[in-house]
Structure formats: structure tokens, C-alpha cells
Amino acid sequence: MGRIVQKFGGSSVADAESIKRVARRIARTRADGHEIIIVISAMGDTTDELMDLALKVSPRPQSRELDMLLTTGERQSAALLAMALADLGVDAVSYTGSQAGILTTPTHGNARIIDITPGRVVRSLDEGSVVIVAGFQGVAQSTKDVTTLGRGASDTTAVALAAALGADHCEIYTDVDGVYTADPRIVPSARRIAKIGYGEMMELAAAGAKVLHLRCVEYARREKVRVHVRSSFSDKPGTWVVPQEELTKEATMEEAIITGVAQDRGDAKITIIGVPDQVGEAAAIFQAISEAGINIDMIVQNVSRLSDVSTDISFTLPMDDGQRALEALEAIRSQIGFKEILYDDQIGKISIVGVGMRSHPGVTATFFKALAEQDVNLQMISTSEIRISVVVGSDDVDRAGRAAHAAVGLDADDPALVYAGPGR
Amino acid sequence: MGRIVQKFGGSSVADAESIKRVARRIARTRADGHEIIIVISAMGDTTDELMDLALKVSPRPQSRELDMLLTTGERQSAALLAMALADLGVDAVSYTGSQAGILTTPTHGNARIIDITPGRVVRSLDEGSVVIVAGFQGVAQSTKDVTTLGRGASDTTAVALAAALGADHCEIYTDVDGVYTADPRIVPSARRIAKIGYGEMMELAAAGAKVLHLRCVEYARREKVRVHVRSSFSDKPGTWVVPQEELTKEATMEEAIITGVAQDRGDAKITIIGVPDQVGEAAAIFQAISEAGINIDMIVQNVSRLSDVSTDISFTLPMDDGQRALEALEAIRSQIGFKEILYDDQIGKISIVGVGMRSHPGVTATFFKALAEQDVNLQMISTSEIRISVVVGSDDVDRAGRAAHAAVGLDADDPALVYAGPGR
């Protein structure tokens, strides 16, 4: 039998009944003889409720103390799950992230995992216990303070533990039954993907797919951890996220293989009008943005205007960073000499993710034609080997997504999984 | 300036507003230049709510996991209080019992403090921070597991920390403004005691007074920590609990000094009828009770019956242990050969606590006369140098308490603090 890491999210353990149900599921897996490590999130909306409580006490909660507060949520669900398993006759023990040896950077609220020293976990596994680790948290290697790993980080914890413990694979249990070719709530004809490579999954996540966090997939790819994303409410197989080499696709030789369509409304667009077209100007702009700690997604620089030898630069960034970016740009306005800054947060990004995209212009043409037929204006375009993204108005995102999904052959009633380009 | 430990109970920090109010109070004390260590309980009814949640998941929650769960309550309030202080410009840091170096026995749910190694606390104090320690918890020295110290143990933690840190004194903030000569809700004429010795306070606590836990006073006496019990809702002085030598009383020479009247409804009475009057029989009975881990309070053995050379033995014990005691006795019934076991939980205990009681039979006489005038039947009697206790029916407890309080001169409208025995 093997060693498996299983992660259960907040909605899977929303109340006492759900915890008992999850315990029964784990007991069945244990009965098959597997060694099991569980990573668990806080129950339901606990983290949000604790955050609200903190804000009632302080408008800007001190970050070390906020981590001390928020981490109690996962600790509670871990202890309760251990109790439920004990009732079923399954030896189980709960550990905080710190007790499990998850060492992190000291950045409260957004710490990174530096290393995992799972001695206590291994000893408990050897003694025959199911080990339950509180997700979302670790301990700062330098200060010994408790840290939280940023939102959505329980998935990353699970994958990191799987790597550190040499687990056979890592199961991420969630409230959907796998990764779909598009968000099924917006594109009803979306289909579940049986198997997907790390790279494509990363692109889907970066493009807006919410089912698996980008960080988590990056970690899985780096450590070669096989991840199974599945529903906690059924026994059906979900989506396996695996090394690209495992996928039997001939994409790079003959066709483009489209994996899915993703959309994202979380970005805003900044356009800088009239940047003097001189060497170093664009670099200075992005230096200032980078020093403000802002990650940029797409960049488009238009052709220089002959009239005043200037150009316009547009880029997209997370909406939450919009204010900081504008401040950073204002600070260098006189130095650069640009005319104006435009800010637009009523945008959305639609991406087609697959393999062999750029070498098959037919895909791009099909995609753009579908958007044109929907009367959707393309504001920005960006392409790579495994992703084509466009920025459109946020009102257009949903119907453009559905149209693109159908046009590239992903709809469920289309038997062909492989897109056949023009001329076939 | 000095070093002070302050403990705040659950009702003092019931919600966000209360936490902010406590923070303002601490900030004022800090502004006077004192080094401050806070011990804090969980907010309001949090501990009970977590216990209810555990029982929803498991009818008999595994004890190690229950401690992992329950300790999140104090951790939350400690972190929130630190945030509130930070907002007021007061540097503050929260620590769990484990982080504060509170080392305990491994008995989950009822651990004892073995030692305190407060290195981290001292370092933070030296750096100018107010240190907030989560109460009710520590870490088992042998297993490194988180432990809880039994109900009411935040007071004990505060006193233990005061001892370990060489604090000038320990302030226990509660929802009453000190220790009274009787429970003011039952005896409206009760008065606040300005200063009381450790021994008398221990007797009052053992006799049923709820304001300070017996364990806490034992610890204070052992380590000579001066304790100030006061209200968190006002600035009035409360009751100082101090070494007996500090009290200027001539009690042991001339008069009995009555400190207070206490009552307790938490006990049950077991009477074993027809115990063969032979050497070793009573010892065997109490051996069995002791092996069941039950603490006995009062014991009365009646005069032997000539008819069958047997005797009856009565003793009182906590109601919660009643079932276990009956089982332990049934198990030795044939070995001992007693006739019958009677169980009565409709009893209460009233105690007069003071100094020099036994050598002044006038006090006992006055007490018993007051009870007789109330038509109260005395079921059991027990006396010591600083306490006289009687067991009565639970329906009689309140009015008996009021009558005794008045009879021994404790009522507020009686100017004399000293009881003058007969003949004076």
C-alpha cells in the first residue's frame, strides 16, 4: 500500500456532520492499508469570520497577531477531524503547521515555504496514526513566529508535504469534480479534463481558473508531485495533474491540442499615453512598477506616433494593486514626461490554453473570428506556445468565453477532443 | 516602576468592544511605566461553545485533540488584545502557554504546572512590549503536546507567571469587585473584605466561594505571591490576598475572627449503612474510593450499633463523581459486607471561615443556634481551626447562610468587624 496526502477545503468540512462524513471517507481509505496525511482548511467561512472579528478590534490588524488569530481556524478543524476518526477506531493525531515542521519566510500573511522537516509526522505515521496537518500555516524559520501562507495555500501545503514525505500522490478534494475545459457555471457545455500537464494547468490557473492555485501547481511541477483534483462529495475520479511527458499527445508535430478556456475579471488595465519614444523610457516605467511590488500580466506597446515621436503603453495588473501602481507612476511622471494615465477596471481576460498554439495560427484565427461574430472588441492580445489571451470589456467576457469554447471544439456535444485546423 | 501580572476573565473580554476597553485600561497602566504581563481567558462563552462543537463531532472527544481544540479560544483573545493595544500605540505581543514556557504534566484536560521557563516573555518585556499570554494552557514537558490546565486555571497561570517572573503582585480582574464575606447575590448584607490571608482564602474557596480558584490560592501561598482580586469594570480597590503575617489580628490570643460565610451545592452525600465494625473496614472503603480517583470532603462515622456491631459511614464528594463512587463501592460490597448504600445529592454545605475557631466554642454555638432558629437540620458537622462546616438540605442553604452571616456579626450594618464571644 502507499502513502497519500489528502487535502480537504473549507466547504468539505463546513460543520460537524461534514467532518464526520470526511472522517468516514478517510477511514475507508485507511482500511485499504494506506498511510494517510490530511491537510485541512478551516471550517466553512471561519477564516472570513475571524478576519471580521479582527477588523472590529482594529482597522489595521498588526500582522503577526493576525496570523496568531487566523491560524486557530485550521487548528480547530484538524482537532475535530482527529476526534471523529478516533470514534471510528482510526488512530489519528492533529498537528499545527509548526508542529508538522513547515518552515517559512517571516512575511506574515503571505509567507513562502522554505523547507519541511516532518520528523514528528513520520514518527506518527510509523506508529500507525493518520496524521492531520492544519493547512494555511507554518512557522517562520528565523523568528519562530507562526505564519500564514496567503490565501489558497492549503493546496500548496498539501503538495509540499507530499514532496517532503515522498508520497505516491496528492489528492485535492474540493466542491467541483475536477478541472473543466471552462468554468461550468458560465460555459454549461464545458467538459471535465481527465488528465492535464503541469504547464497547461499553470496557464489555466494563471488565466483565471480557480480550481487549483497557481502556486500549488508550480510546486507540484518543481517537485514532480502527481495531483488528483476531485470532489469530496463523490467517489468519481477527477482530474490528474501530471508531468507533461505522461500525456500521449502528438500536438507538437501535427495539431494544436486545446485544453481549455479560462476567464479572469480580477485585472485592471493601465494605459500610459504619450511616452517619449526613447531608449530606456519603457524600462524606467516597469522598474517603478516592479519596485512597488506589483506583478504585471500583459504588456502591449503601440507603434510610435510620428507626430511627436511618442508611443502608448498598456499593461494589465491585479485590480487590488491599481491604486499603488497609479501612485508609482505619478511619482515618475516628470522624470518620464508622459502625457496621461488611463485606468480601466471594467475589463476581463479570456484565454485559450493548450499545446502547440503559436505554431498553429488557425487556432488564433478561429478564436478571433468567434469573438468578432459576438461583436466583441479586442483591446489587447498576447500569445505564447500554450496560451492565447485577449483583453475585452468585462461585459463581454462570459459570452465570449462560451463562443470561444464552442469554436475551438471543446463543447461536450462535439466528439472530437482534438482541434483540426483549417485545411484538414 | 514595577512588574505586574494582570489576568482578565472571559466576561471581561466577551466581545470586540470589551477587548478594546481592556486595552485602554492596560495602556493607562503601561503609561505609568510598569512592565505588564497579561493572562487572558477565551472570549465570553467560547470554551463552552468549542466543547459543544466537539460533542457534536464525538460523544467522547479524544483528550489530546480536545486540548488542541479548546486552546484556540485563549489564543484568539490574546491575539485580538495585542492588536487593540497596537492600535493605541502600545507595543504588545501574544504568546500561547507553550510559547510562554509553561511546562506541565501530560494529563490532558487537567494538567498541572511543573515549571515555567519564561525566556521569550522576559526578552519581549526587555524590548518594551506588553506580553499577553493565553491562559488555561501549557505544553507537556514529556510529550510536547499542548495541554489545558483544568477549569478556572487561568487564575493559576497568572499567579504562577507572577512567581516565575518575580512580579510585584498579581491582579485578578473579574466581574465582582472583590472577595465578600458571603455571596452577595444570596446574602445581600455581605461586605467586601479589604485584606485576607492565604489560609482563610483557601478555606473560603474550598468551602464554595467561587471568586478565586483554590488551586490559584494554594500556588500564591506556596510562592508568596500577593494577589489583588478586583473588578474589570471599575478602578476601586478590591481584595488583597496576602501572607497571614501581614494581617494585624490578635485572633489566636483573644477572639475568633470570622472572615466569611461560604456555601456549596456541588456535593453529594453517600451513606454506607451497616459497615461491620471491624478493624480495616473503613480503610478498605476509602481505599476503593481513592483508587477511583475521587476526592472526599467531609467524613462522619456514627457510633457503632450494639445490635449487630455495625456502623454507618457518611461522606461527601463532588456530585460529578457520584456515579463512579457508587460503582467503586458496589465492586467491594461482598468483600466489606455492608448492607446498603444511600445517595443524596439534594444537600448543601455551609461554612464559617475565620481564625481561631476551634478554640472558641462560642462561634460554633452561635452558628448552630442560628441554624436551629431557621429550623435547619444539621446532617453532618466538621470543624477545624479556621473552618466550621455543616451539611444541610439544599433547600435550606440560602436562608441558613444569611442567618449565619448575621449571627456571627458579618452583616454590613454591624459596625464591629470582630466577633466578640460570649462573656464579652
DSSP A164-229: HTT-SEEEEEESSSS-BSS-TTT-TT--B-SEEEHHHHHHHHHHT--SS-HHHHHHHHHHT--EEE
Q: What is the pLDDT of residue B413?
A: 66
Partner residue facing A57 (CB), from B53, B58, B80: B80
B66 interaction partners in chain A (CB closer than 8 Å) = 79, 83
B76 interaction partners in chain A (CB closer than 8 Å) = 50, 53, 69, 72
pLDDT (mean) for A63-91: 97
pLDDT in tens, A279-291: 788 888 888 888 8
pLDDT (mean) for A72-99: 97
Residue A139, strand partner residues: A103, A146
pLDDT (mean) for A82-86: 97
Distance from CA of A20 to the nearest CA of B (A): 7
Stretch (H or E) spanning B132: strand B130-134
Query: What are the cell numbers at A238?
Result: 477527477
Distance from CA of A64 to the nearest CA of B (A): 8
Closest by CA position to A85, among listed A45, A135, A128: A128
Residue B230, strand partner residues: B173
Q: What is the pLDDT of residue A248?
A: 64
List, in order of start, the domains of chain B with CATH numbers: 3-175 (3.40.1160.10), 260-264+347-407 (3.30.70.260), 267-344 (3.30.70.260)
**Does A273 touch chain B if contact means CB atoms closer than 8 Å?**
no
Q: Which of residues 79-98 of A touch B (CB under 8 A)?
A: 79-80, 82-84, 86-87, 92-94
Choose the mutation target among A49, A51, A53, A83 for the interface with B, i.e. most B CBs under 10 Å: A83
Helix axes A63-87, A16-31, angle to 10 degrees: 60
Q: Which amino acid is at B299?
A: I
> A13-24 in b/e burial notation, b at 16+ Cβ within 10 A?
bbebebbbbbbe
pLDDT in tens, B295-353: 888 888 877 777 778 888 999 999 989 999 999 999 999 998 999 999 999 999 999 98
**Does B50 touch chain A if contact means CB atoms closer than 8 Å?**
yes
pLDDT band with cut points at 50, 70 and 90 for residue B385 = confident
Is the pLDDT higher at A341 or at A310? Answer: A341
Query: Across the interface, do B86 and A65 touch by the CB < 8 Å criterion?
Result: yes
pLDDT at A354 over 80: yes
Q: Are B129 and B92 in contact (CB under 8 A)?
A: yes
The residue whose grid cell reads 492565604 is B198
Query: In Å, how far are A87, A97, B269, B317 from A19, measured between CA atoms?
Result: 12, 20, 42, 38
Query: Across the interface, do A83 and B65 touch by the CB < 8 Å criterion?
Result: yes
Q: Are B115 and A89 in contact (CB under 8 A)?
A: no
pLDDT (mean) for A336-363: 86
pLDDT at B253 over 50: no
3-state secondary structure of B115: strand
Query: Across the interface, do A75 and B83 touch by the CB < 8 Å criterion?
Result: no
Query: Across the interface, do B66 and A53 touch by the CB < 8 Å criterion?
Result: no
pLDDT at A215 over 80: yes
Partner residue facing A83 (CB), from B19, B58, B72: B58
Can you tell me the distance from the alpha carbon of A406 to that of A261, in angstroms, rounded to the nearest whole number? 10
Closest by CA position to B401, among listed B184, B206, B166: B184
**Does A131 touch chain B if contact means CB atoms closer than 8 Å?**
no
A87 interaction partners in chain B (CB closer than 8 Å) = 57-60
Q: Is ipTM strictly over 0.85?
A: no
- The proportion of chain B whose per-residue pLDDT surpasses 70, expressed as a percent, equals 94
pLDDT (mean) for B96-101: 96
Q: Are A167 and A37 in contact (CB under 8 A)?
A: yes
Kindly report the CA angle at B183 between B182 and B189, in degrees rounded to 5?
Answer: 65
Choose the mutation target among A76, A81, A136, A137 for the interface with B, i.e. most B CBs under 10 Å: A76
pLDDT (mean) for B21-43: 96
Sheet of strand B146-148, all strands in order from the earlier edge strand to the far edge: B113-116, B102-104, B137-140, B146-148
Can you tell me the distance from the alpha carbon of B87 to that of B22, in angstroms, rounded to the nearest whole number? 13
Q: What is the pLDDT of residue B295?
A: 84
Q: What is the DSSP letter of A212?
A: S
CA closest to B53 among chain A residues: A16
pLDDT band with cut points at 50, 70 and 90 for residue A129 = very high
pLDDT at A294 over 90: no
Can you tell me the distance from the alpha carbon of A130 to that of B66, in angstroms, rounded to the nearest whole number? 17
**Does A50 touch chain B if contact means CB atoms closer than 8 Å?**
yes
pLDDT band with cut points at 50, 70 and 90 for residue A420 = very low
Q: What is the pLDDT of residue B61?
A: 95
Q: What is the pLDDT of residue A344?
A: 94
Closest by CA position to B230, among listed B195, B189, B182: B195
Q: How far is CA A211 from the centre of its chain?
A: 7
pLDDT in tens, A196-213: 999 889 888 888 888 888
Most confident option among A283-287, B98-102, B354-358: B98-102
Query: Across the interface, do B94 and A65 touch by the CB < 8 Å criterion?
Result: yes
Q: What is the pLDDT of residue A256?
A: 64
Q: Residue A92: which residues within 8 A CB-CB, separation 6 or more?
A: A81, A82, A85, A86, A129, A130, A131, A132, B65
pLDDT (mean) for A250-277: 81
Can you tell me the distance from the alpha carbon of A12 to that of B199, in angstroms, rounded to the nearest whole number? 54
pLDDT at B422 over 70: no
Stretch (H or E) spanning B151: none
A94 interaction partners in chain B (CB closer than 8 Å) = 65, 68
Can you spell out the DSSP letters for A249-299? --TTTS--EEEEEEEE--EEEEEEEEEE--TTHHHHHHHHHHHTTPPP--E
Q: What is the pLDDT of residue B233?
A: 84
**Does A179 touch chain B if contact means CB atoms closer than 8 Å?**
no
Residue A207, strand partner residues: none
Q: What is the pLDDT of residue A413?
A: 66
pLDDT band with cut points at 50, 70 and 90 for residue B22 = very high
**Does B62 touch chain A if contact means CB atoms closer than 8 Å?**
yes
Q: Which of A104-108, A180-184, A250-254 has the lowest mean pLDDT?
A: A250-254
